Amino acid sequence: MKIAFFDRDGTIIEDYPDEKWSFITQPEFIPGAIETLQQVMQKGYKIIIITNQYLINEGYISLQQYEEINKKMMEELTRHNVEILDVFYCPHSRQEGCDCCKPQTGLIQQAIEKYPAINLNESFIIGDSIVDMELAIRMNIVGYGINVEVPDEGKDVYKIGKVIEVLEYID
């Protein structure tokens, strides 16, 4: 099973400064994101979202707020025939030293445990943050960083300008 691991905030829906998240009730989709997800599915990938939500344990949003945004996002994606296999999130604060806050590898490990058929060699990670690319490097997965300066030395991580540009790279 080949997986497209998508970051959520800043990749599928808009991201905001931490303080502003407290007031967000509606996900705003990033232009091209839904089409990208549709096309990625067409290419035979299953989609898993992996998202750092330190906003929860750092008190910017409640778990309920997180779930509400996620639910609305999923409903909109369903309307566009996008199937999300699963969402794995890290609720921990950055001070907690958990093993799932990207670039820690816990979210991917959780995904592999739940779906042992995942083949990382055929999978990729896409995100708008350096932590997404560091995670790709740690897990030896191909990475696509949206406006992220990626380390070049022989690593399989590539800088793209917009989420939809990933379609030019994948089979």
**Residues with catalytic function:** 7, 9
Query: Which is closer to Zn ion, CB of 33 or CB of 139?
Result: 139
The DSSP symbol for 114 reads: H
Is residue 102 involved in binding Zn ion (CB under 5 A)?
A: no
- Which one of 2, 92, 118, 124 is in contact with Zn ion (CB under 5 A)? 92
Cβ contacts of 108 within 8 Å, gap of 6 or more? 5, 50, 120, 135, 139, 141
Query: Which is closer to Mg ion, CB of 49 or CB of 82?
Result: 49
Q: How many residues would you count in the chain?
A: 171
**Distance in Å, CB of 134 to Mg ion, minimum:** 13
- The answer to whether 55 touches 18, Cβ cutoff 8 Å, is yes
The DSSP symbol for 154 reads: T
**Distance in Å, CB of 50 to Zn ion, minimum:** 11
Binding site for Mg ion (CB under 5 A): 7, 9-10, 128-129
